[in-house]
Amino acid sequence: MDGQLQFIQLEMMVATLGLLILLADLFLPSTARRSLGWVAAGALGLVFLLSFRGGYVALADAEAFGGIYRLDALAFFFKRFFLLAAIFVLVFAVDFAARLRGGVSEYLAFILFALTGMMFASSANDFSLLFVSIELITVTFYILVSFQRHRLHSLEAGVKYLILGAVSSAFLVYGIALVFGEAGSLKFEVIRGAHGELLESNVFLFGMLFVFAGLAFKISAFPFQVWAPDVYQGAPTPTTTFLAVGSKAAGFVLLIRLFASVVPELTAQWTGLLMTVAVLTILYGNLCAVPQHNLKRLLAYSGIANAGYLLMGIVAQSGDGTAAILYYLAGYLFTLVSAFMIINLVTREGEGEDIACLAGLNKRSPFLAFALALCAVSLAGIPPLAGFFGKFLLVKSVAAKAFGDAGYFALLAVAVFGVVVSIYYYFGIIRAIYWSKHTSVDSPVSVAWPTRIALGLCVAAILYLGLLPDKPINWANAAAKVEEKMSVDKK
């Protein structure tokens, strides 16, 4: 393989797979198209395994395409993360195919294209690649969100996402332009080298703030979170899942790259800003979730709150903080995937995803009831599950900084307050599952076996991450070290 192209071999495989699926659509009878999803998931599984191949891993800490594309432990971590997320979402999409009413193969292909964008994003080492990959993700999501054309809600969500996404892209590209104007380059290397002087320039700060706003939109941080509940609720549920997990993680990998390694001094200068954003995001997400009865909306607010918790890892400005973000995202992936899958299985088409539809789930399907309860408990951050350990690591990384700065304590206090509030609404879910009086439906829930396997894997992963956190923490630390090392090298 050509020297440059081998760097992007995984991305090429995924993009090719997407094209193949579009082609296959032409030759397959419409009944067989659904199973394309399982084929695609299997193929992605193969790609996931290939990402551990020695020849590929050996490319670590090297750059390609004139330095705009970088492979390192952080990039590997996120590429694998996105691959896993996409595998689950594809399996999920097959379950959901009937509700799409046509265009299944396109739906699958778009998931793969969005995945390509995310994988490029995890290697972005240049503002141009950053912008292009973000746009690839966002534009595909415009389509994925509005895919149920027969549903007004889906269309409405698509339009909202389109327009607000366009606004945020405008912020982003405007910011990039200002940064370019001041720094004279789009390369992260150049900016990293020169940002001592650049910090003096208000234009540069102005630009970076707009870039931050663009990324804050992706992770749905305050004050750019308003779109999330409407879009999450209206979008087809597999899209919601991918949006909540993949798109958010893409935002975070770029935030980590930029703020933890390219401009760490700017981050230090903006600690107050980041903390304020984190605090407001946590408060907004948790408080709004309390009166919420729609499950997808509830998880959207919970997703906003979680973005706030994840920002704590950036605020901590340490390798531990970054590692905590990675660990937390891993736990969040498995939890959200299984939660959305179960919600989709339980609710029937045309009905809202109201919390009341969980009533009697423990009788209809004890396994689903248990799995969803486990997700709620993990999201609430109760030991010994993944969610607890992730929150613990985040809080710990912030607490390590807290001595000598009272602001950090305020952040910690808000985080703890948020957790307490969140226990209230997550347990509303558990209460609905196990202690509801009125049950409208009592037929057992049928679950296809690939979904069963996916759910089983997710539950196992939630338990594994919480009970035996040593190894995953080591992985997260190894991936986080890259950034720390680079910023230290520079000094």
Partner 1 sequence: MNTVAWLILLLPLFSAVAIGLGSFRSRVASAVLSVGAVFGSFLLTMLLIADGGELRSSVGWLAFEGLQVDIGLQIDALSKLMLCVVTGVGSLIHIFSLGYMKEDRDFSRYFAFLSLFIFSMLGIVLADNFVMMFIFWELVGVSSYLLIGFWFEKPSAADAAKKAFLTNRVGDFGFLLGILMVWAALGSVGFAELRNAETTAVCGLAGFLIFCGAMGKSAQAPLHVWLPDAMEGPTPVSALIHAATMVAAGVYMLCRVFFLIDGTWAMEAIAWIGGLTSLLAALMAVQQDDIKRILAYSTLSQLGYMVMAVGLGSPDAAMFHLTTHASFKALLFLGAGSVIVALHHEQDIWKMGGLRERMPKTYWTFLIGTMALCGVPLFSGFFSKEAILDAALENNLLLFLVAVFVALLTTFYMTRLFIVAFMGKPRSSHAEQAKESPAVMTVPLLVLAVPSVIAGYFNAHAPNPLVLAASLVVLVFGMLVGNSVYSGADTDPLPARFSRLAKALRDRFWFDEIYKWLIDHVQENLAKLADAFDRWVIAGLLVRGAHGTTELAGRVLRLAQTGNLQTYAFWFAAGMAALLIFTLG
**Contact flag: residue 82 with partner 1 (CB under 8 A):** no
Residues 151-210 that bind partner 1 (CB under 8 A): 159-160, 163-164, 167-168, 171, 202, 205-206, 209-210
Q: How far is the CB of 131 from partner 1 (least distance, A)?
A: 18
**Contact flag: residue 281 with partner 1 (CB under 8 A):** no
With CB under 8 A as the contact rule, which of the stretches 12-20, 91-99, 287-295, 370-378 interacts with partner 1?
A: 287-295
Q: How far is the CB of 427 from partner 1 (least distance, A)?
A: 12
Residue 332: both structure tokens together: 């969040």
Q: Say if residues 76 and 480 touch (Cβ distance below 8 Å).
A: no
Give 44 or 244: the residue with its C-beta nearer to partner 1.
244
With CB under 8 A as the contact rule, which of the stretches 41-49, 283-291, 368-376, 404-412 interacts with partner 1?
A: 283-291
Q: How many angstroms separate the first and last alpha carbons of the chain?
A: 36
With CB under 8 A as the contact rule, which of the stretches 32-40, 286-294, 307-315, 475-483 interacts with partner 1?
A: 286-294
Residues 393-422 that bind partner 1 (CB under 8 A): 421
Q: How far is the CB of 279 from partner 1 (least distance, A)?
A: 13
Residues 129-148 that bind partner 1 (CB under 8 A): none
Q: How far is the CB of 413 from partner 1 (least distance, A)?
A: 15
Give 159 or 410: the residue with its C-beta nearer to partner 1.
159
Give 417 or 464: the residue with its C-beta nearer to partner 1.
417
| The only residue of 348, 424, 444, 488 in contact with partner 1, by rule CB under 8 A | 424
Q: How far is the CB of 151 from partner 1 (least distance, A)?
A: 16
**Contact flag: residue 268 with partner 1 (CB under 8 A):** no
Q: How far is the CB of 208 from partner 1 (least distance, A)?
A: 9
Give 107 or 212: the residue with its C-beta nearer to partner 1.
212
Q: How far is the CB of 116 from partner 1 (least distance, A)?
A: 28
Give 285 or 390: the residue with its C-beta nearer to partner 1.
285
Q: Say if residues 164 and 144 touch (Cβ distance below 8 Å).
A: no
Give 128 or 202: the residue with its C-beta nearer to partner 1.
202
Give 102 or 223: the residue with its C-beta nearer to partner 1.
223
Angle at 248 between CA 246 and CA 253, to 5 degrees: 90
| The only residue of 25, 189, 230, 265 in contact with partner 1, by rule CB under 8 A | 230
Which residues, 6 or more positions from 365, have their beta carbon under 8 angstroms from its beta carbon?
444, 445, 447
The site map against partner 1 for 208-227 (x = CB under 8 A) is -xx-xx--------xxx-xx
# residues contacting partner 1 (CB under 8 A): 33
**Contact flag: residue 276 with partner 1 (CB under 8 A):** yes
**Contact flag: residue 229 with partner 1 (CB under 8 A):** yes
Residues that bind partner 1 (CB under 8 A): 159-160, 163-164, 167-168, 171, 202, 205-206, 209-210, 212-213, 222-224, 226-227, 229-230, 270, 273, 276, 284, 287-292, 421, 424
